[in-house]
Chain A
Amino acid sequence: MDATSLGPHISRRFNEDLEKLRTHVLQMGGLVEKQMSDAVVALVEGNGGLADEVSRNDHRVNAMEVSIDEECSRILATRSPAASDLRLIVAIIKTITDLERIGDEAEKVGYIAARLAVMERPTDRYREIKNLGRLVHQMLHAALDSFARLDADAALKIVQDDRVIDEEYEAIQRQCITFMMEDPRTITRSIEVLWVSRALERIGDHAKNICEYVVYMVHGKDIRHTAHDALTRQVMGEDLR
């Protein structure tokens, strides 16, 4: 039995359906990842065309969410899955909601990038946004990887990485406030930068949610709203398998 199979089923079709569903979710994830990284690149490089493309492509993310949702409902209705299969479906339904929200945030960043592209660029060329974008993108990528590998341990590590992103977001916030106080002419741009960093920080939160669903899917434990220490104890300490 290969590593991807989610367990033996009497019906081979059911197995294939579940596999296909998972692949669709990851395809949607890939699109969202690209949307997000394109939006940040558009902002950092001042590429208005790319920014427009990001906002134009958001409908594709939404369409994928709807079609995966329908697929999940169909499987729930016709196969009545149980145990780990049911957890997989539930986790997928939740994951795609978060992916769709990430898509919306990326669209927002793209929209702001298009507006900023025609404005004067700051001397630091949005270095801090680039940095935050890289961190968030790494987190999202790792989250989707853990989903693909059903790797709960990696997912747990990513959940803890979210703190770094929150710190970076706060640093940008403070920096923007300083800029605005020094020179009121930068207020418009600083507010836009704040919006962008807020959107990126939200993407990090959504990626964290996806990791939590991965842990739920693998161990059947709900680790949402749990403090870090308790979380580690809960998942690492006990033998859940």
Chain B
Amino acid sequence: MPRLLLVLGLAAVVGLITGQMLACVLLALGGALALNYYRLYLLERWLRHRRNLDPPNLSGPWGDVVALVVRIYRRKKFHKKRMLEVVREFRQLTSALPDGIVVLGRDREIQWFNPKAARMLGLQRKVDFGHRIDNLVRNPEFQSYLDRGDFALPVVVRKLTGQDIHLSLQMVDYGEGQKLLVVRDVSREILIEAMRKDFVANASHELRSPLTVIAGYVDTLADDPIIDADIRHALEEMRRQSARMQAVVDDLIELSRLESNDSEAPFIFVDVPGLLALMRRDVIARPDRTCEFQFESESVSGMLGAESELHSVFSNLIGNAIKYTPAGGRVVARWWTDAHGGHFSVTDTGVGIAPEHLPRLTERFYRVDPGRSRASGGSGLGLAIVKHALQRHGGSMDIVSEEGKGSTFTCHFPDARIATRD
């Protein structure tokens, strides 16, 4: 600005001297305008081809503009580089993840997935974006998992193509209405689990035969009249313990049989009231029973299922109730049907169970009170057997209990399993 004034002043002086005032000032102004236009042109050309040209060396306000643009441009470039680095890092991270990840939109359409997910689920990059996940991952188990809409636990499916590969699939909430599908290869876990089951089954079978022989001899010896009294005492104890061991082994075999067969129980008619009436006779005849036992059959309907498994469900629950109910208590077993299906409950006035034990009650060998239950001779497998047998019948069990007051175990069977003898 001062330079412009200086030039104008100079032009005015020259004008005064030469007497051509107007022409000189106009000439100076025109020159200044032309210079500015030229600088503007330089600036424009530089902005257009910023990548290849150095910033023009301009003075005055145009120079300030250039400096400002350079600064903004540099900052932008820096941020862009940072952004690219973050994206690259994210890409590397997601490809390095051992789990497959699929981002799903509102309608379960695929929006993005990492290479691992592509390999495990057989998806194709780019091609499959926008397709619904259930159109491409068609395992019936996964479909019903999606339909159920309860994604608290993953679902394990056997991969349809290829060899024995088991995948665990879980949906996780993500962003607005989006979902994340996490895919894990659990073939190893499944294999180890199968090996564990096989081991338990084989070990129990191997234990059974020698145990039978030992129990047989102990039985014979204990009944021998010529045996000394104190040896007889030891033999009696051996007899009791071997009987207990046999019970444990039998329960283990029963449990591994139930576990190895994860399909549904057969649909064969079982006369539940008749079965319970038979069991009632056994219970009443039990020598160790000290409490009162009552049985209420409110329905004449039976069930479609496996008789031996239902028998173990009922007898385990009744047996437990009697074991944990002190003398003078009462155990009531009920069987009834309604619109939801069939129900069997056992209510006792026994010791009850503290709430913290309830969730773990059906675990194998889980003991509420280790000292007590071992003395009472349980195998620790009863409720695990009940749980598996119920699962095979599509049933469920709930437990209501109050310490010191007693407990109620209720089994629910679906309506589809309830039937009457034709």
Contact = CB atoms under 8 A, between A and B. Distances in A.
Interface in B91-149: 109, 122, 124, 127-132, 134-136, 138-140, 143
B160 A3 contact: no
B122 A3 contact: no
Given A33-B160, A37-B160, A49-B263, A149 B131 contact: yes
A145 B127 contact: no
B159 to A, nearest CB: 10
A26 B263 contact: no
B376 interface: no
B122 A145 contact: yes
Nearest to A148: B135
A200 B160 CA distance: 16
B263 A53 contact: yes
B261 interface: yes
A145 B127 CA distance: 12
Interface string A7-34: 0000000000001001100110111011
B109 A50 contact: no
Interface stretch (A70-78, A121-129, A136-144, A215-223): A136-144
Contacts of A29: 138
A149 B127 contact: yes
B18 interface: no
A2 interface: yes
Given A4-B132, A22-B135, A137 B263 contact: no
B134 A23 contact: yes
Nearest to A30: B138
Contacts of B124: 149
Given A4-B109, A4-B130, A144 B263 contact: no
Contact of A26 (B122, B135, B261, B264): B135
Interface in A107-152: 137-138, 141, 144-145, 148-149, 151
A33 B261 contact: no
A72 to B, nearest CB: 18
- Which bucket holds chain B's interface residue count? 20 to 34
A4 B127 CA distance: 10
Nearest to A34: B140
Contact of B143 (A27, A53, A144): A27
Given A23-B135, A141-B160, A141-B161, A30 B143 contact: yes
B337 to A, nearest CB: 25
A107 to B, nearest CB: 15
B261 A49 contact: yes
Chain B residues touching A, majority SS? loop
Contacts of A145: 122, 136
A2 B160 contact: no
Nearest to B164: A41
Contacts of A22: 135
B131 A4 contact: yes
Given A2-B109, A3-B131, A4-B109, A137 B140 contact: no
A53 B131 CA distance: 32
Contacts of B261: 49
A50 B263 contact: yes
A30 B132 contact: no
Q: Which of A53, A144, A148 is the most central at the interface, judged by chain B CB atoms within 10 Å of its CB?
A: A148
A137 B161 contact: yes
A19 B108 CA distance: 12
A57 B124 CA distance: 31
A149 B129 CA distance: 10
Nearest to A147: B135
Nearest to B139: A30
A14 to B, nearest CB: 16
Nearest to B140: A31
Contact of A33 (B135, B138, B264): B138
A30 B140 contact: yes
Interface in A77-111: none
Contacts of B263: 49-50, 53
A4 B132 CA distance: 8
A217 to B, nearest CB: 14
Contact of A2 (B130, B135, B140): B130
A34 B161 contact: no
A148 B127 CA distance: 11
B139 A3 contact: no
Interface in B240-298: 261, 263-264
Contact of B128 (A53, A144, A149): A149
Nearest to A31: B140
Contacts of B138: 26-27, 29-30, 33, 144
A228 B346 CA distance: 70
A148 B160 contact: no
Contacts of B122: 141, 145
Contacts of A3: 127, 129-131
Interface-central residue, A3, A30, A33, A53, by most chain B CB under 10 Å: A30
B250 to A, nearest CB: 22
B271 to A, nearest CB: 23
A34 B139 contact: yes
A33 B138 CA distance: 8
B130 to A, nearest CB: 4
Nearest to A27: B143
22 contacts: A4-B130, A4-B131, A4-B132, A19-B132, A23-B132, A26-B138, A27-B140, A30-B138, A30-B139, A30-B140, A30-B160, A53-B263, A53-B264, A137-B160, A138-B161, A144-B138, A145-B122, A148-B131, A149-B124, A149-B127, A149-B128, A149-B131
Going nearest first, the 4 A-B pairs with the smallest beta carbon separation are A30-B138, A2-B130, A3-B130, A148-B135
Interface of A: 2-4, 19, 22-23, 26-27, 29-31, 33-34, 37, 49-50, 53, 137-138, 141, 144-145, 148-149, 151
Given A3-B127, A3-B129, A27-B134, 16 more contacts: A2-B129, A3-B131, A4-B130, A22-B135, A26-B138, A29-B138, A30-B139, A30-B140, A31-B140, A34-B140, A34-B160, A137-B160, A138-B161, A144-B138, A148-B131, A149-B124
